[in-house]
């Protein structure tokens, strides 16, 4: 019996500095017959994420081998009763149009009527969960506090800004890479102030936006952003360190900032890093909190959806350069 062909992307070389399309190759693979306990999934949406840049370095993804990533798809063939044909699933066998999965390495998506499927990769996915964990478990944001969010117009940032508002934050400040994105934050997503970090020293812009200082910083960028936030935080402020996207192209070299790390002691700050994969038990709490707001329209899944599997590499490279507003997602099939 003839088997379907999957379109697949492999990593074929490792970048020095910024990655290029030449680091990847597209190929075709015949899908093998399913073994008992397996299901074949047609992939519908895939997430492209900053951590994937780290995976491109030595010690990360293998060359010329299957890659991983957060993916949503529909079961089209099954040899397991746990995943009947038609089931919508989340799995990580990504960068391919068709994936063979088992129940153990996937989960069946909850059906939240009225909520778009792609939200399971944005506000309801690992991205939104990172924002939720950063705000509620790590920073423990309280009502009326002033929070600064970097990479604020990206996936984690747009989720964090909207969640912070619902959690009662007093003032929400975001930094991003263009004036248009800054306007998007204040005009569409309820940020009180936003600035383009290219415009001036970040610490100056932050002091203008938060004259009374910050209580909380959700750090997605690291480097000069972290230094500016340490400078602007009030005594006993908290930093939830989520990521350092400014550094991922050169992780082997020490970053030039923050030069004021010892002020963490002088100001009695709390700086805590976290990995969302250690907080998956927080997901039901996020669903309970957010789904009613998604249904009412109070929260909008902010997404840039790039159509077509052939553009998955472009979407990934574009996200690293800031081509996205909200979560960068690739739509692989209708
Ligand atoms: P994202 O923010 O949607 O996309 C990355 C953004 O980074 C780009 O849109 C770009 O926006 C910005 N950027 C790129 N280079 C930059 C630079 N040199 N300085 C400042 N900003 C730069 O990505 P995301 O998925 O939401 O992830 C955001 C951060 O959270 C990343 O650091 C990621 O690694 C981290 N994260 C951590 C966890 C965890 O478990 N700890 C989980 C998910 C994500 P601009 O146009 O604004 O520059």
153 lines ligand 1 (CB under 6 A): yes
**Which residue's alpha carbon is at the smallest distance from atom 35 of ligand 1?**
243
Query: For 215-228, what is each residue's pLDDT tens digit?
Result: 999 999 999 999 99
Query: For 309-329, what is each residue's pLDDT tens digit?
Result: 999 999 999 999 999 999 999
Query: For 277-303, what is each residue's pLDDT tens digit?
Result: 999 999 999 999 999 999 999 998 999
The residue-averaged pLDDT of 138-151 equals: 98
Superfamily name with CATH number, domain 5-122+301-331: Medium-chain alcohol dehydrogenases, catalytic domain (3.90.180.10)
48 lines ligand 1 (CB under 6 A): no
Domain extent listing, the chain? 5-122+301-331, 126-277
Ligand 1 center to 324 CA (angstroms): 10
Report the atom number in ligand 1 closest to the C-alpha of 134.
41
The confidence score (pLDDT) of residue 163 equals 98
Domains 5-122+301-331 and 126-277 share a fold: no
Residue of 69, 148, 197, 220 to test ligand 1 pocket, by largest number of atoms within 8 Å of CB = 220
Please say whether the structural domain 126-277 has been given the CATH code 1.20.1250.20.
Answer: no
97 lines ligand 1 (CB under 6 A): no
The rounded percent of the chain whose pLDDT value lies above 70 is: 100
Is 274 within 8 Å of 137 (Cβ atoms)? yes
**Which residue's alpha carbon is at the smallest distance from atom 39 of ligand 1?**
275
pLDDT band at 229; cut points 50, 70, 90 = very high
The residue-averaged pLDDT of 111-121 equals: 96
Q: What is the pTM of this model?
A: 0.98
């Amino acid at each position: 019996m003839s088997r379907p062909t999957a379109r697949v992307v492999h990593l074929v070389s490792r970048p020095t500095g910024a990655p290029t399309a030449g680091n990847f190759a597209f190929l075709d693979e015949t899908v093998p017959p399913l073994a008992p306990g397996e299901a074949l999934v047609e992939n519908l949406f895939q997430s492209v994420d900053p951590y994937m840049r780290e995976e491109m370095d030595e010690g990360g993804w293998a060359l010329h081998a299957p890659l991983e990533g957060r993916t949503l798809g529909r079961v089209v063939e099954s040899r397991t009763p746990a995943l009947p044909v038609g089931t919508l699933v989340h799995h990580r066998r990504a960068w391919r149009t068709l994936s063979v999965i088992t129940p153990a390495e996937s989960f069946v998506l909850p059906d939240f009527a009225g909520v778009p499927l792609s939200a399971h990769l944005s506000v309801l996915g690992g991205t939104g969960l990172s924002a939720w964990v950063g705000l509620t478990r790590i920073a423990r944001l309280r009502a009326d506090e002033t929070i600064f969010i970097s990479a604020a117009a990206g996936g984690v940032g747009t989720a964090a800004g909207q969640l912070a508002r619902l959690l009662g934050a007093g003032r929400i400040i975001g930094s991003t890479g263009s004036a248009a994105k800054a306007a998007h934050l204040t005009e569409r997503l309820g940020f009180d102030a936003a600035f383009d970090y290219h415009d001036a020293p970040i610490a100056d812009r932050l002091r203008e936006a938060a004259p009374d200082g910050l209580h909380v910083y959700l750090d997605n960028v690291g480097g000069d952003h972290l230094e500016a936030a340490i400078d602007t935080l009030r005594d006993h402020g908290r930093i939830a360190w989520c990521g350092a996207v400014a550094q991922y192209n050169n992780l082997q070299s020490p970053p030039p900032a923050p030069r004021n790390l010892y002020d963490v002691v002088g100001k009695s700050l709390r700086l805590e890093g976290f990995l969302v994969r250690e907080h998956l038990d927080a997901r039901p709490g996020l669903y309970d909190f957010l789904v009613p707001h998604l249904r009412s329209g109070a929260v909008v899944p902010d997404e840039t959806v790039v159509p077509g599997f052939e553009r998955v590499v472009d979407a990934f490279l574009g996200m690293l350069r800031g081509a996205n507003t909200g979560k960068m997602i690739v739509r692989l099939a209708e």
